[in-house]
Structure 1
Amino acid sequence: MSKIREHLLSLLLEHESEFLSGEEISERLHCSRTAIWKHIEELRKEGYQIEARPKKGYQLLYRPDRVSPEELKFHLKTQRFGQWIRYRESLPSTQVLAHEWAKEGAKEGSLVVTEEQTQGRGRMGRFWHSPPGTGIWMSLILRPEITLAQASQLTLVGSVALTRSLRRETGLDIRIKWPNDLLIEGKKISGILTETRGEQDGVQYVILGMGINANQTESDWPEELREIATSLAIEGKKQYRRRVLIPAILKEMEDLYDAFLDNGFEPIRILWEEYAAILGKQVRTTTHRGVIEGVAMGLDSTGALLIRQGEKVTPVFSSDIEY
């Protein structure tokens, strides 16, 4: 989207309940009224309903649920997270573009977001189904001054922030499955993919990728996913505005991330256990040490999941959990 069109849409959003004259828009955007008309027509083609009246000007009547920068920034209340955005209608994966941007020197808090991923991925290279215009597919660039060992804790920071913000915005009983999934009644609505680049003495950058099933219906998924996946819309029986959800997520993410940097992992650990789906349940996992079965007890000070087997307690650092 061109800069003029971005500023035009921002103006229409700011004055959503009133008409803006073509003359006033022209003066504020430093462009001709013919150029304004051209951009209005382009916005209409993208799904915006804009009324034009002689001697009154233009008024925005309807906004499609898009996650473009001007839509997100209108609701944004963060200091850093989401203040710099790279948006694409479609991407193979937001992670790939985020890595490229981070290597170019993107600031902490820079966000890559798209309407659709054609090659979305989760942990261990799994495919993430990301149909257009339905979910939230985004990657956040972080530059924390922490050790490589601490970087894995950012997945847990992210899962707590996602859970808290989505519970607040939807009222749904969202729970965390260790280490990176969000569930409603045992079905997956979200996953987090954390990828770190750094050396032994510290982290260069971290990409925190998030996929959230927001407004999908069952028909949006292939048959094999319908028994294990759900969406906010299916569970809440309503559609949710992604342009509102994303800024809410980023605000909670920024607050908890800053708290983590200031106060360490312990406050995050306590919050994580509050929202955990598996504590006290019999679980099973396969690690490089073999199969571990027992009761999930909580997290240790590093973020490892503690599994009790009789009198023995075993920490699990990275594995899929069945329960």
Structure 2
Amino acid sequence: MESTRQKMIKLLANNRTGYISGQELSRQLSVSRTAIWKHMKELEKDGYIIEAAPKKGYRIIDFPDKVSQNTLRWGLNTTWAGQELFHYNQVASTQEIAHKLAAEGHPHGTLVVADEQVKGKGRMARPWHSQKKDGIWMSLLLRPDLPPVQAPQITLLAATVLAKAIASASQVEPQIKWPNDLLINHKKMAGILTEMQAEQDQIQYVVLGMGININQDPGKFPDEIKKKATSLRQETGETWNITWLIQLILETFENTYEQFVHEGFGTVKKTWEQYGYKIGEQVTISTMRKTWEATLLGIEADGALLVKGIDGREEKLYSAEIHWGEGGYNADA
């Protein structure tokens, strides 16, 4: 259910070119004029510049360049994705908070965003460098009506969402390294972590974590990942508005997810393979049992990577290390 503040932000956003009277806000929100004034003061504390003109009402004339609950809600064009959201300056992990919110019964689409994570993690519990205010560190709570076997499809879907959103915003063409990394110019700029709570035949909830490098300079990455990591700023030479990018990702996610629910995995699979890194190319693959040369063919509906060995035999992989390039670059997949 929308709060009074959320409703007021929507009304102000829909009247950006003109004033909306305190009386009209009071009428539509069913609160007193004094309550309206208090909400305006809270927005000013958040960095909004509000003009209050006698006999005209209120209008927003400038917006804060910061991430907050208010700025994220301002102009967010979704039905459920991010409509309930929690913003923090610093957390151990947005995943941990999202799991707690899920256990408390918060709805599908609940979003947790942090300016900084001090214990961010990726796949296989690897640490994720989450520098303050330089990236997007967020977790989205989903309650899909799906059996657990289809959970990997959500990770693959999320990867296509990030690729599409970054491509449309920047004209940079990212690629997806199976199953959950976004690369630009062969360097990692985003990762996805999907964690699930389920019963035998039904997913109770999914927490979809996304870490996206946005405004880091090359020198801000730790030495151990400098050669492997990049950011949108590093690739474009521009500084990006993180609030706007989060909104773009949420809107793209909601549209893509709804299409997936109604049409199935086919479109997601096709899009993933369009962005797929090294798809159609030969690489070296290592598992605990063997190392061999194979061509990456695409993905399967269960999230597996489909490869074809030099002997022509096709195989589905669920865990492997992929090597390529002169330096023998390793991609733990």
Deviations, residues 63-122 of structure 1 (Å, cap 9, x unaligned): 343222221222211111111101111111110000000011111111111111111110
- The 1:119/1:36 distance shift into structure 2, 3 A limit, reads same
- Name the counterpart of 2:327: none
Give, in angstroms, the shift of residue 134 of structure 1.
Answer: 1.4
Q: 2:75 & 2:270 partners in 1: Cα distance?
A: 29
The more displaced of 137-146 and 252-261 is 252-261
Q: 1:66 & 1:301 partners in 2: Cα distance?
A: 39
Q: 2:35 & 2:182 partners in 1: Cα distance?
A: 49
8 Å contact kept, 1:167–1:173:
yes
Q: 2:173 & 2:97 partners in 1: Cα distance?
A: 33
Give, in angstroms, the shift of residue 202 of structure 1.
Answer: 1.5
Q: 1:289 & 1:71 partners in 2: Cα distance?
A: 51
- The 1:273/1:102 distance shift into structure 2, 3 A limit, reads same
Q: 1:276 & 1:84 partners in 2: Cα distance?
A: 32
Q: 1:29 & 1:290 partners in 2: Cα distance?
A: 71
8 Å contact kept, 2:49–2:63:
no
Give, in angstroms, the shift of residue 11 of structure 1.
Answer: 7.3
- Name the counterpart of 1:42: 45
- The 1:263/1:57 distance shift into structure 2, 3 A limit, reads closer
Give, in angstroms, the shift of residue 40 of structure 1.
Answer: 6.6
- The 1:312/1:249 distance shift into structure 2, 3 A limit, reads same
Give, in angstroms, the shift of residue 254 of structure 1.
Answer: 1.5
Q: CA RMSD in A?
A: 2.9
Q: 1:32 & 1:144 partners in 2: Cα distance?
A: 38
- Name the counterpart of 1:232: 232
- Name the counterpart of 2:322: 321
- Name the counterpart of 1:132: 132
The more displaced of 149-158 and 68-77 is 68-77
Q: Secondary structure at the match of 1:75?
A: coil
8 Å contact kept, 1:23–1:33:
no
- Name the counterpart of 1:96: 96
Aligned partner letter, 1:241:
N
Q: Secondary structure at the match of 2:193?
A: strand
Q: 1:226 & 1:12 partners in 2: Cα distance?
A: 43
Q: Which runs of 5+ in 2 are unaligned?
A: 325-333
Q: Secondary structure at the match of 1:228?
A: coil
Q: 2:193 & 2:26 partners in 1: Cα distance?
A: 44
- Name the counterpart of 1:255: 255
TM-score where L is the length of structure 2: 0.83
Q: 1:9 & 1:150 partners in 2: Cα distance?
A: 37
- Name the counterpart of 2:183: 183
- Name the counterpart of 2:108: 108
Q: Which runs of 5+ in 1 are unaligned?
A: none
Aligned-residue sequence identity (percent) comes to 38
Q: 1:29 & 1:216 partners in 2: Cα distance?
A: 45
Q: 1:98 & 1:90 partners in 2: Cα distance?
A: 14
Give, in angstroms, the shift of residue 39 of structure 1.
Answer: 4.1
The more displaced of 56-65 and 216-225 is 56-65
Q: 2:44 & 2:320 partners in 1: Cα distance?
A: 51
- Name the counterpart of 2:204: 204
Q: 1:77 & 1:275 partners in 2: Cα distance?
A: 26
Deviations, residues 205-263 of structure 1 (Å, cap 9, x unaligned): 11111011111112322222221111111111111111111121112211222222222
Q: 1:101 & 1:242 partners in 2: Cα distance?
A: 24
- Name the counterpart of 2:147: 147
Is structure 2 residue 307 aligned with structure 1 residue 307?
yes
- Name the counterpart of 1:31: 34
Q: Secondary structure at the match of 1:86?
A: strand
8 Å contact kept, 1:293–1:307:
no
8 Å contact kept, 1:50–1:61:
yes
8 Å contact kept, 2:191–2:211:
yes
Q: Secondary structure at the match of 2:296?
A: strand
Structure 2 matches for 1:215-226, cutoff 5 A? 215-226=215-226
Q: Secondary structure at the match of 2:323?
A: coil
- The 1:270/1:8 distance shift into structure 2, 3 A limit, reads closer
8 Å contact kept, 2:10–2:75:
no
Q: 1:37 & 1:151 partners in 2: Cα distance?
A: 42
Give, in angstroms, the shift of residue 295 of structure 1.
Answer: 1.3
Aligned partner letter, 1:198:
A
Q: 1:254 & 1:38 partners in 2: Cα distance?
A: 32
Total equivalences in the alignment: 317
TM-score where L is the length of structure 1: 0.86
The more displaced of 232-241 and 14-23 is 14-23
Give, in angstroms, the shift of residue 136 of structure 1.
Answer: 0.7
